[in-house]
Structure 1
Amino acid sequence: MISLENKQNILITGGAGFIGSRLSLALVEAGHAVIVLDNLSPQIHGDEPEASPLYHAIRDKVTFVRGDVTKAEDLHKVLPGTDTVVHLAAETGTGQSMYAIEHYSRVNVGGTSLLLDLIANAPYPVKRLVVASSRAVYGEGKYSSPELGAVYPGARKDEDMAQGQFEHLCPVTGKILTLEATDEDSALHPSSVYGVTKLTQEQLIMSVGQALGISAVAFRYQNVYGPGQSLSNPYTGILSIFSTRMRQDASINIFEDGKESRDFVYIDDVVTATKAAIEHPDMQLQQVFNVGSGVGTDVLTIANTLRQHFDAKSEITVSGQYRVGDIRHNVADLSKAQDVLGFQPTVDINQGLQKFVAWVKGEAVGKDRYEESLNEMKAKGLFK
């Protein structure tokens, strides 16, 4: 437990969500006072949000206000007396962002702008800002070749992927580029609307924090997973999608060639890193951090591992289909978070998947909206 003089009044926007609820509980356990602002979005919490397990986990442990970050009157309810603002409220998902453009911009960029405007212009005692950014700000990330050194390729071309060419090639030799761990100094060129909005959120927080002379921290979370993530939202990641379909013995469609990879980071590790920044003694801390496992795992491996854990009969097909805006690979360089925050991930992908599957098996089998989401994208020319 923290000492009385180190106790903070912490506002978490989106604090009833997957990351927010876990973080809220960890901060309360540490002795902080937590107030949560959350709109209990049905896409995350289901058709009866008040019955959501995520909401119930925090309901009697935090001060909860149901409201929206795009409404000034709701923000005014929760900002008085706040020492630290942890801004997690946002629309997530690369695919959906490519056609729900105004909505993503209004919530992610507009909500962040409004929050900062109120802090800058009203007498609220905020001393630290923390925002959930994303690895999506890097776009395709960092690669290298002997001829060019570090290479930051742009978004992949439709015509290349249509021919089954999914890897990034060296423009000099035509050979496949070597994937490198992406550090915080890597080029920033998001390839999706979601990535653009997360980069804007991050830059707003960092710029305003510096201007106001208060601490500002942005976390570029990798692919966060674990118990508590939505199993019904088809835009939250492949682990949820695959798990729901495998429990129904439904077929699994692996996009591209199945070798596309992601840095999957377990929820407990994400909470540990975030809490370390919230409690960091340097009240002038102004930093951006990667938070991941530091290891890439390909999608086909994930699918096969899950099928084994579920003892499922689902047929796994590598289709060669692809989504516009998806990246090929990503793996995070964690050196900075290790040096400044002392962060070290403790749950590897095998341990994490076992814990995740054990939790999923205790949950009801929800509605599978996966095909519906693909049809939405296909109708708009974003899934091929």
Structure 2
Amino acid sequence: MTKKILITGGAGFIGSSLALALSARGHEVTVLDNLARQIHGDDAEASPLFARIRGKVDFVRGDVTSREDLLKVLPGVDTVVHLAAETGTGQSMYAIQHYAEVNVGGTALLLDLIANERFPVSRLVVASSRAVYGEGKYQCAVHGVQYPGARSDAAMAGRQFEHTCPLCQQVLQVLPTDELSALHPSSVYGVTKLTQEQLVLSVGKALGISALAFRYQNVYGPGQSLSNPYTGILSIFSTRIRQGKPVNIFEDGKESRDFVFIDDVVEATVRGIEHEDPLVEVFNVGSGVATDVLNVATTLRQYLDGISDIAVSGQYRAGDIRHNVADLEKVSRLLGFKAQVSFEEGLRRFVDWARSERIADDRYEESLDELRAKGLFK
């Protein structure tokens, strides 16, 4: 059945890919996006991400923190996909008010209008994040499952990057993090994403409409911003390698992430949007495979025929987690989703695309200087 779908943040990396996929499936798609400079550059109208959807969906330039803008796009909509948010762990640790205003305030305003203006919305979908778990789920061989808190500055400064059991001091083994795991985000970004999903799920349940929160892992692929230093290590590393600049690996390089390809993220989200039964649920969306950061850098250098030095510095950022891998049993069981693109294949597709893009201005050192000046990078 054709749906009338609003995607907030629909000109971003995930949003533009999702908008095109839903439009191709016959849905009526409206995008609300403010074309933020950090994502789209100084000339937003020339943004490659915006160009992907221009003329293919209804587009309204506006902000989720604006009541007037939301009232332009909500009438007649039956499905709202809320992707608009500020992203990035590091930046969130000092742009605290801004992250709260956009991520929490924008979500609250959107839900307030849906609850009080009686728009015909029957399904809410929100982009959450694995950041809601903080450090995630671990196992002690002696004392069982553990959910460690954020690593201390003293431990990190002493190059003790792995989590240890507080009872026996043995190094903990990472486990796939499932949706029932403890929620204790270690960054402001994670706190705002947890609040977003809880607002959406609570309001959806109260109003009797479907509400789904997708806890995306580390999303990557063609179309992601190569100039935004807060959008992930693939963008940062690939840009520096193409410039011939050195690549700085934090901690000991063994920290790991669950990288999930954009096509798989879109597939999982579409399944949630089109699912026939009413749902109020949270789902992990990832590959279920952990890849360490040093491996990412060396593989990227190989694929890009680069000559950049790769140095493991031991430096660290406040708010970063050590390991991340998702348990995907629930999303497989209820939505029939399974990631199809391996990291090796996805990385090749990313590299093939990146080669065709202009080499972006490198704002990486600038972003680290900001963190260093506030005592958040050491």
Q: TM-score, normalised by structure 1?
A: 0.98
SS in 2 for 1:382: coil
Could you list the per-position Cα deviations for residues 279-301 of structure 1 after superposition, in whole angstroms to 9, with x for gaps in the alignment? 0000x211100000000000000
Q: Displacement, 1:174? A: 1.1
- Distance in 2 (alpha carbons) for counterparts of 1:356 and 1:199: 29
Q: Which residue of 2 aligns with 1:52?
A: 47
Q: Which residue of 1 aligns with 2:15?
A: 20
8 Å contact kept, 1:265–1:292: yes
- Distance in 2 (alpha carbons) for counterparts of 1:232 and 1:267: 18
1:120-131 to structure 2, matched below 5 A, reads 120-131=115-126
- Distance in 2 (alpha carbons) for counterparts of 1:161 and 1:372: 23
After TM superposition, what 4+ stretches of structure 1 lie above 3 angstroms from structure 2?
Answer: none
Q: Displacement, 1:56? A: 1.0
Q: Which residue of 2 aligns with 1:70?
A: 65
- Distance in 1 (alpha carbons) for counterparts of 2:76 and 2:144: 50
Q: Which residue of 1 aligns with 2:301?
A: 307
Could you list the per-position Cα deviations for residues 58-89 of structure 1 after superposition, in whole angstroms to 9, with x for gaps in the alignment? 11111000000000000000000001000000
8 Å contact kept, 1:15–1:89: yes
**Which of 153, 158, 171 is the aligned partner of 2:148?**
153
- Distance in 2 (alpha carbons) for counterparts of 1:146 and 1:224: 32
Q: What root-mean-square deviation, in Å, do the aligned CA atoms of Structure 1 and Structure 2 show?
A: 0.5
Length, aligned pairs only: 378
Could you list the per-position Cα deviations for residues 328-355 of structure 1 after superposition, in whole angstroms to 9, with x for gaps in the alignment? 0000000000000000000010000000
Q: Displacement, 1:211? A: 0.3
Q: Which residue of 1 aligns with 2:92?
A: 97
8 Å contact kept, 1:191–1:325: yes
> Does residue 319 in structure 1 map to residue 313 in structure 2?
yes
Q: Displacement, 1:309? A: 0.4
**Which of 77, 82, 90 is the aligned partner of 2:77?**
82
> Does residue 278 in structure 1 map to residue 286 in structure 2?
no
Q: Which residue of 2 aligns with 1:295?
A: 289
Q: Which residue of 1 aligns with 2:364?
A: 370
8 Å contact kept, 1:217–1:285: yes
SS in 1 for 2:243: coil
- Name the aligned partner's letter for residue 371 of structure 2: M
8 Å contact kept, 1:206–1:217: yes
SS in 2 for 1:257: coil
Q: TM-score, normalised by structure 2?
A: 1.00
Q: Displacement, 1:228? A: 0.3
Deviates more, 1:142-151 or 1:336-345: 142-151
Q: Which residue of 1 aligns with 2:344?
A: 350
Q: Which residue of 1 aligns with 2:253?
A: 258
8 Å contact kept, 1:263–1:331: yes
- Name the aligned partner's letter for residue 13 of structure 1: T
Q: Which residue of 1 aligns with 2:113?
A: 118
- Distance in 1 (alpha carbons) for counterparts of 2:120 and 2:276: 17
1:5-44 to structure 2, matched below 5 A, reads 6-44=1-39
> Does residue 334 in structure 1 map to residue 334 in structure 2?
no
Q: Which residue of 2 aligns with 1:243?
A: 238
- Distance in 2 (alpha carbons) for counterparts of 1:150 and 1:173: 13
Q: Displacement, 1:102? A: 0.2
Could you list the per-position Cα deviations for residues 221-250 of structure 1 after superposition, in whole angstroms to 9, with x for gaps in the alignment? 000000000000000000000011000110
SS in 2 for 1:247: helix
- Distance in 2 (alpha carbons) for counterparts of 1:345 and 1:149: 29
8 Å contact kept, 1:35–1:65: yes
- Distance in 1 (alpha carbons) for counterparts of 2:5 and 2:372: 42
- Distance in 2 (alpha carbons) for counterparts of 1:174 and 1:210: 42
SS in 2 for 1:132: strand
8 Å contact kept, 1:147–1:172: no
Gaps of 5+ in 2: none
